[in-house]
Chains A and B, each alone.
Chain A
């Protein structure tokens, strides 16, 4: 029986209700700790439910609270475990604390990402000072990289040759800035194109009352163009480790600036990382990321990861204005034929597929990896992305979509 199942006599009511409400408050805290967005209104409703008979049976209370507190499928599935662990003690297996365990911290390739990013995070505060005077200019101008002089030198250096931590920090900063610039340019073009071809009768009549209702000056309108949606799939396997940290920083910027963007990380499995990447602070975002992805190292299963993406995520995240950006070297250790099939399926769904391959700019590189060979026929743009400059060169292409 739950703590509040017994029917109390009237003079005990106060005592009981105080107990119940403190227990309820603790439960709300548990939920918040587990990532539920629970507000005051929900708390009040929960209290009123408990007093109106729902607390008589644990099963009933659980199902009522489940509807009230969970807001999406993942929470819906997690809720029963949490509820049982909290209200019914240890009788039921508890899954509440299983998430975010420290296991993933000592995972090799992500460790290196984290190490690479850490100076970026701490440096950014000091780096802001010199770059603050060119920040407004980059916003005001067409948004090229012209203002940043120190960044200019960096623009053509291959990411893997960036050694000293200060340079890495700068590269991160520029990558983030680049993402910001892409966003503003893309939307501005949308605005300039807006010319209506549907008549807005409401405004027309309003404006023409002074002409006695004869519609002389017409008001038109058009539906607002939806901005481009960007979906990034980043290869975080060992062979890419020299590049992942810069790209992660770029993706972090993109997710921040594009209203519609999703990010996924893959090595042997696929992980949806948009949530972790939406953390404002870049260093903390990378921290959370290392908790999310587990089991890196041991090859790249691009085909299998894409299969997971197509099956579980594609319907939700992809629409007709989606561009899928895959960042990978194409070294497939799994089944290359599967990769080909999944790329074909993906190409049917989205508007464009961009494949960025940092190795492409290496001297003497030819696309011989089995994976990339299978994928090439379905790719709309296959480009190198080993320097900041090549990353920036993408933007005009995206703007044309």
Chain B
């Protein structure tokens, strides 16, 4: 399929190494104009997909970070109250026309969702960590994603001037509603395999040679297989690779000491640190060719 390969190449050019399935998902998302739901462990690069996609299309990335208690006024729009109050004070006396005036475009503050549907060029809309938002908000979002129009009681209905590319990410801390799942295309982002992770390191870290990247990727893969509380993601791998390159390590076997000491880039809890002792890290290093 041509558009799939195109997308994979374009993503690679902007620094994101996608596997064939993800490229298919993005191709589908553009063809069917459905949002794409990305699920997966923290740190596997879900948010990066959106960044890469926006640079592929050379368009704006509008990001809505979800949190508990997120409501319409911080996600969709809000009136500019300070200006409204000022206008009311200034027009004291001729009160009839003032209501129409202060509820006009001029006094409207765009929040991410409204901004996303009012751009001339379709932007990439990233709705990050939807599982953190309440389920009322999820329902509201669903409505927006199916009609791409917003009704503001004081102003009327605003229809989308362009349909944004919508990416929704979830860490799975809460079960999402079936309705939202059905509305979206689904892609499960897994930890990359060794070869792809090595390519990611090479693409992202200046000065990481092919052999070092491969060693790092193999090492990280075996560390992921240990019983850890917090399994290191791709972001951690990149941190570690940057640290090793910065410390001028050319080959992991030459510097087992440094390898063990820099493992803190990967292990983020006390428990995991205690578990991966010097012996363990040397054992893992020994297995890496």
Question: Is B a genuine binding partner of A?
Answer: yes
**Binary B-proximity of A51-74 (CB < 8 A = 1, otherwise 0):** 011101100100110111011110
Q: Is the CB of A45 within 8 A of B32?
A: yes
Interface hits, B43-73 → A, CB 8 Å:
69, 73
Partner of A73, one of B4, B98, B188: B188
Q: Is the CB of A53 within 8 A of B95?
A: no
Q: How far is the CA of A239 from the CA of B89 in the complex (A)?
A: 76
Q: Which residues of the partner chain A approach B187 to less than 8 Å between Cβ atoms?
A: 67
Q: Is the CB of A42 within 8 A of B182?
A: yes
Q: Is the CB of B173 within 8 A of A71?
A: no
User: Is there a chain A Cβ closer than 8 Å to B92's Cβ?
Assistant: yes
Q: How many residues of A contact B (CB 8 A)?
A: 37
Chain A binding surface SS class: helix
Q: Is the CB of A60 within 8 A of B1?
A: yes
Please judge, given known A-B contacts A53-B1, A63-B21, A213-B89, whether A72 and B28 are in contact too, CB under 8 Å.
no
Please judge, given known A-B contacts A73-B188, A205-B81, whether A52 and B173 are in contact too, CB under 8 Å.
no
**Binary B-proximity of A160-197 (CB < 8 A = 1, otherwise 0):** 00000000000000000000000000000000000000
Please judge, given known A-B contacts A64-B24, A71-B186, A202-B79, whether A316 and B85 are in contact too, CB under 8 Å.
no
Q: How far is the CA of A300 from the CA of B4 in the complex (A)?
A: 51
Q: How far is the CA of A48 from the CA of B25 in the complex (A)?
A: 15
Partner of B28, one of A49, A70, A202: A49
**Binary A-proximity of B24-42 (CB < 8 A = 1, otherwise 0):** 1100100110101101000
Q: Is the CB of B21 within 8 A of A316?
A: no
Q: Which residues of the partner chain A approach B182 to less than 8 Å between Cβ atoms?
A: 37, 39, 42, 71
Q: Is the CB of A201 within 8 A of B1?
A: no
Please judge, given known A-B contacts A60-B1, A67-B28, A209-B99, whether A37 and B178 are in contact too, CB under 8 Å.
yes
Q: Is the CB of B73 within 8 A of A202?
A: yes
Interface hits, B144-176 → A, CB 8 Å:
172-175
**Binary A-proximity of B1-30 (CB < 8 A = 1, otherwise 0):** 100100000000000000011001100100
Q: Is the CB of B99 within 8 A of A76?
A: no
How far does the Cβ of A80 sit from chain B's closest Cβ, in whole Å?
Answer: 11
Q: How far is the CA of A57 from the CA of B79 in the complex (A)?
A: 52
Q: How far is the CA of A39 from the CA of B37 in the complex (A)?
A: 17
Q: Which of A48, A64, A319 has the most CB of B within 10 A?
A: A64
For B91, the closest partner residue in chain A by CB is A213
**Binary A-proximity of B87-122 (CB < 8 A = 1, otherwise 0):** 011001001001100000000000000000000000
Partner of A76, one of B20, B24, B188: B188
User: Is there a chain A Cβ closer than 8 Å to B244's Cβ?
Assistant: no
Q: Which residues of the partner chain B approach A215 to less than 8 Å between Cβ atoms?
A: 85
Partner of A68, one of B28, B81, B98: B28
Q: How far is the CA of A236 from the CA of B48 in the complex (A)?
A: 45
User: Is there a chain B Cβ closer than 8 Å to A99's Cβ?
Assistant: no
Partner of B79, one of A49, A54, A56, A205: A205
Q: Which residues of the partner chain B approach A364 to less than 8 Å between Cβ atoms?
A: none
Q: How far is the CA of A39 from the CA of B20 in the complex (A)?
A: 26
Q: Is the CB of A316 within 8 A of B185?
A: no
User: Is there a chain A Cβ closer than 8 Å to B273's Cβ?
Assistant: no
User: Is there a chain A Cβ closer than 8 Å to B262's Cβ?
Assistant: no
**Binary B-proximity of A222-241 (CB < 8 A = 1, otherwise 0):** 01001000000000000000
How far does the Cβ of B32 sit from chain A's closest Cβ, in whole Å?
Answer: 5
A-B contact pairs, 9 of them (CB 8 A): A39-B182, A49-B32, A53-B1, A57-B1, A71-B186, A72-B186, A201-B79, A202-B78, A202-B79
Given contacts A72-B186, A226-B134, A315-B173, 11 further A-B contacts (CB under 8 A): A37-B178, A37-B181, A49-B31, A49-B32, A54-B1, A63-B24, A71-B181, A71-B184, A213-B88, A316-B174, A319-B173
The 10 closest A-B pairs by CB, nearest first: A213-B88, A71-B181, A67-B185, A76-B188, A67-B25, A201-B81, A63-B24, A223-B69, A63-B21, A45-B32
| A binding-site residues for B, Cβ under 8 Å | 37, 39, 42, 45, 48-49, 52-54, 56-57, 60, 63-64, 66-68, 70-73, 75-77, 201-202, 205, 209, 212-213, 215, 223, 226, 315-317, 319
